[in-house]
Structure 1
Amino acid sequence: MLLIFFKIWLMGFSGALAQDQPTFKGGTDALNTFIANRMIYPTFSKNNCLQGKIYVAFQLNKEGNVFNSKVQKGLGIDLDQEALRLIRLTNGKWEVPANYDTNSQLVIPISFSLKNYNCNDRSSDEIAKAIELYRNRLALQNVVTNYYKNKYEDKINQQNEIEIISIKNELGFDDKFINEKMREAKQKLKQGDKEGACESWYFIKYIGSNAADEMITENCK
């Protein structure tokens, strides 16, 4: 279950609080429902009981479109990317007052919480080790994706593919993993998140699989 606590701050401008603030079309409850219905709780965090509050900063233009979105304060794990993706999905769904300064920055904290996953028994030390494991895996993942990006661009690689395959095996980048990423991409596309779907498909490509090539050709060119 995803719990979302919604609050907006206007950041960095002395006159910000004197102006009318943007509102999500339908109000706070509508925003909570919108985000909850589109949430794809990241697999690593779900499997390791990683929860927390992620602060996403962004700006809105006069049409209510999101730009300059970024994680202002996160945990350095996959929850950060999902929170950012969800805020980007609100693009075009904001009502912006006529006197609103589009140079203002909005910050929304999104709180991720798992229920019925037996997470209450996890100690702070176990959580810290899980976060460290994620970051170590990310470093190895980057080795793999950089290798295949270079390979597809005919650039010289420092590692040979046998070493990369060994890392892929260590990370569990097998057919089951790829199928799960394909399902995730399909779910994102169904939500209207073509950018997120393409990111997932390109990730599959850059771990050395051709499973997503057709979807990339159809949707990401």
Structure 2
Amino acid sequence: MKLTADQIAKIESSLSDGNIYYDDIRAELVDHIASRVEDAMEAGIPYERALIEVRKEINPATFQMKLLVASHLGFVKTIASNMLKGSVVLKGILLFAVWVLIINFFEYSPEVAEKHVKTISISTTLGLVLMWFWAGLLKNSQTLSVGNTLWLMICISQFALNLDLIVWLGLSPQIGIYMITFLLSLLYIAGLSEVVLQTKKVRTT
């Protein structure tokens, strides 16, 4: 049994208490509640009673948190798989080449180069994420999740890509800094491409 526009509007108004912050999650929750109410009405339960019972069973904050966690985990996998795409690898190589030119031009030692590369990568990512938030995309959970995920992956990489560890494994400091720089460049491009993709999707909907 399909709900009327007025019945759906009543579901939407019942979620106006501020527990759901993101517009896309709100729309998904309305669809979920509507589907559950329709099933209850098919079983002979009146609309008003069905809505009350379904609303008691669903915690909007928990529903939102589950979707956000799933989105973040999904984007970790997506960004990681993006790192294997040819176009991303090519752009990552170009960014890496720029870094190598800078490192060699200023004759940075591997230790100093590591600090500069990591500092600039994390500050640039933070700046881009903040600019993207200010662009009015904070109300969409997908754009929020992909921005958060890129930021978290860049932060974690600061510890995972460690020059001392690479040297301890037997590689030279020079090879180590090139390895760190290339992987950071690749991660940055892979994440940024997904941020752009998700932003375009929001802009066109």
Q: What TM-score do you get using the length of structure 2 for normalisation?
A: 0.22
Greater helix percent: which structure?
2
Q: Bigger radius of gyration, 1 or 2?
A: 2
More strand, by proportion: 1
- Give the TM-score, by structure 1 length: 0.21
